[in-house]
Chains A and B, each alone.
Chain A
């Protein structure tokens, strides 16, 4: 089997999603050792136009499929096309994003190819002639490094924001059109409507990001500055028991031993001292940011990053700085 790699790219708003460049970055690590070529497949409405954005990345070719039947995502339609492209190219590796689409599509196509798949990887590297993927198991309480046995087509989905996106390397890449024979009527499960996320904030216990305020918020109205930050991050807003007892926030958003137990990826504690019963409700958060005037506040012992300062100064600045980069 050749050592070629196929990257399944994703399109959003007519452009290439960032994950696609991260996947190309991962693919380059493999091809640097094996000398395999890197191709990219783009499926869906606007694929050809979006492909123009990838021509300077040293790819051997970009395969696009944008038939009418593929205008909207369907597992079956996309699986048929991707599977066809993957089979024709006899790729050794197929990289996908660990996104809603990649997670849905990957195993189905891997099964059709009788291949092997590693989901939700956070790192990919070569060890000798072996492509080794690192992935969390037990909800991140342990990690494994895994490689295929034999030479089945290896599907690897990679989580966004883990591998540095590829930089353009110059040159041009030919764009090929893949004529699919997907018939819309043959697709049994079809997306018929899309509901964009509305202003409503996510549930505390489900949120990936949470911004909470403590007694230092001083007033109910001041929660506005936390809400501004939360809206920017698609975050939920929470409060410590002290803030709830003081009447600054409703019981429904209390985080802690006697409130909600949360486990977000990012927890931003503003003016929270870090009483044990509060820590009990959020200590498993992946990254904890603490903003507090008191440098001796116990919250700093648990935090990943800390800023000693007045939340009324720091939080609006943080929101402004985030706005610049998001």
Chain B
């Protein structure tokens, strides 16, 4: 990878790459095959600083930016996208949200455990009737004295059954669709909280996706993030980081698939010719590599903008849209290069193929990204080009 990195960034990349290959890869194979959540790996990731990348040192983190996080996520996802999504939600959503909107008390309470990897984070927006349309959410939070009482359910929550801190979005005002939403940090020990359905998925089998059930669940008012009614704003602001994280995941998966395709086609001969020496393969490799690089650059740019404090919603959406599409075309072509064996579980490409699919679905479907991008483009046009 030729993108100019600083000495620190190269060192970070080497550490995460070595760790991913030596420690994560063997764990990932078994965990994905058997559908086990690889609990132990997150403590190791925490020891190395990967669970508190953007958290300031005073809260036990390493105080690096989104760009460093992207470099890390790329390498982790190239080896295990399940671990990647758990890490991405934890770092880009939970940590970020608590740091940005939590009171000092809340930060002190959660961030050190989250940054060390002892505690995992989850982030709960989606409901059965509120997917892309966040404002349709129904989970209610009613203030009673020093507490909020939550009732309802959240669906498809990554790491929901493993997390010690879940950022939950709930409706505090039924009348106002957007300003009636608030965000809370919920601990699984809260009375009235339970885990509902555990999803069986096509891919990401070493991560968990669950339903969260709230039945008169009592949450301290201290755990409110920002102020009452700020939920929608927080959710939207968090999405940029979340999308950059998923874009990085898609780049990691795509790069791994490209590598697998090249590796396999170099070793396999048919008609006395290596697969890699057929022109059809060469053209595929060129197109795949170019797309991966373009996806990477879009992702890096969005991360750099975010680190500079610039608006980056459009760029994050573009990165996610393009990188997730790229991941899916690249895993498709790389599997084709494998021929029939690519369809067996013997080869990594089979897992990459399944894991890539979700990148076009979560953190906003590709359709949602297109809505965000087109709206930004049209707004910009209207602002800058006179009629």
Which residues of A come within 8 Å of B, CB atoms? 241, 258, 275-277, 279-280
Name the residue on A nearest B25 (C-beta): A258
Q: Top 4 closest A-B pairs, CB basis?
A: A276-B267, A258-B29, A277-B346, A276-B268
Beyond the given pairs A275-B346, A280-B263, 9 more chain A to chain B contacts, judged by CB atoms under 8 angstroms and listed by A's residue number, are A241-B346, A258-B29, A276-B264, A276-B267, A276-B268, A277-B346, A277-B347, A279-B267, A280-B267
Complex Cα–Cα for A280 and B267 (A)? 9
Complex Cα–Cα for A277 and B268 (A)? 11
CB distance from A212 to the nearest CB of B (A): 17
Name the residue on A nearest B341 (C-beta): A276
11 residue pairs of the A-B complex, CB under 8 angstroms, read A241-B346, A258-B29, A275-B346, A276-B264, A276-B267, A276-B268, A277-B346, A277-B347, A279-B267, A280-B263, A280-B267
- Residues of chain B in range 346-364 having any CB-CB distance to chain A below 8 Å: 346-347
Complex Cα–Cα for A83 and B191 (A)? 80
Complex Cα–Cα for A277 and B264 (A)? 9
Quick one: which of A241, A276, A277, A279 has the most chain B CB within 10 A? A276
Grouping DSSP codes into helix (H, G, I), strand (E, B) and loop, the B interface class, with mixed when no group exceeds half, is helix
Name the residue on A nearest B30 (C-beta): A251
CB distance from B22 to the nearest CB of A (A): 11
Q: Which residues of B contact A280 (CB under 8 A)?
A: 263, 267
Complex Cα–Cα for A277 and B348 (A)? 10
Q: Which residues of A contact B29 (CB under 8 A)?
A: 258
Complex Cα–Cα for A276 and B264 (A)? 8
Which residues of B come within 8 Å of A, CB atoms? 29, 263-264, 267-268, 346-347
CB distance from B25 to the nearest CB of A (A): 9
Name the residue on A nearest B338 (C-beta): A276
Name the residue on A nearest B33 (C-beta): A258
Complex Cα–Cα for A280 and B266 (A)? 12
Complex Cα–Cα for A50 and B267 (A)? 53
Name the residue on A nearest B266 (C-beta): A276
Q: Which residues of B contact A277 (CB under 8 A)?
A: 346-347
Complex Cα–Cα for A275 and B263 (A)? 14
CB distance from B274 to the nearest CB of A (A): 12
Name the residue on B nearest A277 (C-beta): B346
Complex Cα–Cα for A241 and B347 (A)? 12
Complex Cα–Cα for A275 and B264 (A)? 11
Complex Cα–Cα for A275 and B268 (A)? 10
Complex Cα–Cα for A276 and B268 (A)? 8
Name the residue on A nearest B347 (C-beta): A277
CB distance from B125 to the nearest CB of A (A): 37
Complex Cα–Cα for A280 and B29 (A)? 16
Q: Which residues of B contact A241 (CB under 8 A)?
A: 346
Complex Cα–Cα for A258 and B344 (A)? 14
Quick one: which of A241, A258, A275, A280 has the most chain B CB within 10 A? A258
Complex Cα–Cα for A280 and B346 (A)? 13
Name the residue on A nearest B346 (C-beta): A277
Q: Which residues of A contact B268 (CB under 8 A)?
A: 276
CB distance from B111 to the nearest CB of A (A): 37
CB distance from A252 to the nearest CB of B (A): 11
Name the residue on B nearest A241 (C-beta): B346
Complex Cα–Cα for A279 and B347 (A)? 13
Complex Cα–Cα for A277 and B345 (A)? 12
Complex Cα–Cα for A268 and B347 (A)? 24
Name the residue on B nearest A260 (C-beta): B26
Q: Which residues of A contact B346 (CB under 8 A)?
A: 241, 275, 277
CB distance from A282 to the nearest CB of B (A): 13
Name the residue on B nearest A279 (C-beta): B267
Complex Cα–Cα for A277 and B29 (A)? 14
Complex Cα–Cα for A324 and B155 (A)? 70
Q: Which residues of A contact B267 (CB under 8 A)?
A: 276, 279-280
Q: Which residues of B contact A258 (CB under 8 A)?
A: 29
CB distance from A181 to the nearest CB of B (A): 51
Complex Cα–Cα for A104 and B29 (A)? 42
Q: Which residues of A contact B347 (CB under 8 A)?
A: 277
Q: Which residues of B contact A275 (CB under 8 A)?
A: 346
Complex Cα–Cα for A241 and B33 (A)? 15
CB distance from B262 to the nearest CB of A (A): 13
Name the residue on A nearest B29 (C-beta): A258
Complex Cα–Cα for A67 and B346 (A)? 62
Complex Cα–Cα for A241 and B345 (A)? 12
Q: Which residues of B contact A279 (CB under 8 A)?
A: 267
Name the residue on B nearest A258 (C-beta): B29
Complex Cα–Cα for A6 and B58 (A)? 66
CB distance from B173 to the nearest CB of A (A): 53
Complex Cα–Cα for A253 and B299 (A)? 40
Quick one: which of B263, B264, B267, B347 has the most chain A CB within 10 A? B267
Q: Which residues of A contact B263 (CB under 8 A)?
A: 280
Complex Cα–Cα for A322 and B94 (A)? 64
CB distance from A246 to the nearest CB of B (A): 14
Complex Cα–Cα for A212 and B159 (A)? 41
Name the residue on A nearest B263 (C-beta): A280
Name the residue on B nearest A245 (C-beta): B346
Name the residue on B nearest A256 (C-beta): B346
CB distance from B354 to the nearest CB of A (A): 17
CB distance from B317 to the nearest CB of A (A): 37
Quick one: which of A241, A277, A279, A280 has the most chain B CB within 10 A? A277
Complex Cα–Cα for A166 and B196 (A)? 80
CB distance from A263 to the nearest CB of B (A): 16
CB distance from A20 to the nearest CB of B (A): 41
CB distance from B78 to the nearest CB of A (A): 15
Complex Cα–Cα for A276 and B340 (A)? 14
CB distance from B339 to the nearest CB of A (A): 11
Quick one: which of B29, B264, B346 has the most chain A CB within 10 A? B346
CB distance from A214 to the nearest CB of B (A): 14
CB distance from A323 to the nearest CB of B (A): 37
Q: Which residues of A contact B264 (CB under 8 A)?
A: 276
Complex Cα–Cα for A275 and B344 (A)? 13
Complex Cα–Cα for A276 and B347 (A)? 10
Q: Which residues of B contact A276 (CB under 8 A)?
A: 264, 267-268
